[in-house]
Structure formats: structure tokens, C-alpha cells
Amino acid sequence: MPKSASELPESQVTPEPGLEKRTRRQFTTEYKLRMIAEADACKHGELGAMLRREKLYSNQLAAWRREYAERGVDGLRKSAPGPAASRTPEQRRYEQLRQENGRLKRKLEIANDCLELQKKALSMLDRLRNGSDV
């Protein structure tokens, strides 16, 4: 016999915010500068505690220091994700057209060689025909 609705366990699912999908953190330039300054002020053994408190990785701090040393404050500004393009779209198009031009030149050379071969064969056949008649 089926159970009554009051005897069934509640099937309502409540989402847990801790399990929801996290988004990528974005750090402001001011925050990065503050963390670099705070890390530089840390004494021996305090840096790890600061990184854990701020939930940062040491490689993040090292990258921020490197960017700051290379390009100053502009280096810490947000940049586009992924590697920078090695060639511009015009350069890529130029390379594509250059390759296509090379392919077409090879095809033309083959076609010209075939025509020359046909001319030679026709010339040989004409000589054979004319030579056998004499």
C-alpha cells in the first residue's frame, strides 16, 4: 500500500552557497599595490600567513612584482586573458596569400612542364612520321 503524502520525506533541495560555481577573482590595481607593499614589509615567516589570510598564491605575488618592476603601475592594470597574438590579422592574411601564391606557382610550373612534354612528344611523332615516308 502506498505511503501517504505526510509520510514521505521532504524532497525540497536547498542550494548551498558554498557549493555554487565560483567566479574568477579580479584584483584592482590598488589592491595589488597594497599587497606588494604589505609583502615587502613582512618579516621572516610572516609572508605565508599574509598569503593565506588574503587567499593568494605566491606565484600571483611574484607575477605582480615582476609586472610592477617591468612596467610600473600600468603593468598591474587588467590585461586581456591568454597570450598576446604574435601576428596581426593583416600579417596572417599576408602569410596566407603568400602560401597560396607559392602553391599556384608550383601548379603553373607543372602545367607548363606538361605542355612542353606534349610538344616534344608531338615533335618526335612528326619526325618519325616524316622520316618513315622518305
pLDDT at 72: 87
Residue 21 vs residues 16, 17, 54, 87, 117: alpha-carbon distances, Å = 10, 9, 20, 35, 70
Name the pTM for this structure.
0.46
| CB 75, CB 67: distance < 8 Å | yes
Of residues 1, 11, 56, 16, the one with CA closest to residue 32: 56
Polymer length of the chain: 134
SS3 content of the chain, % helix, strand, coil (to 5): 65, 0, 35
pLDDT at 8: 59
pLDDT at 80: 65
pLDDT at 83: 79
pLDDT at 13: 72
pLDDT at 133: 54
Please identify every stretch of the chain with a pLDDT value under 70, giving residue numbers as ranges. Answer: 1-10, 79-80, 132-134
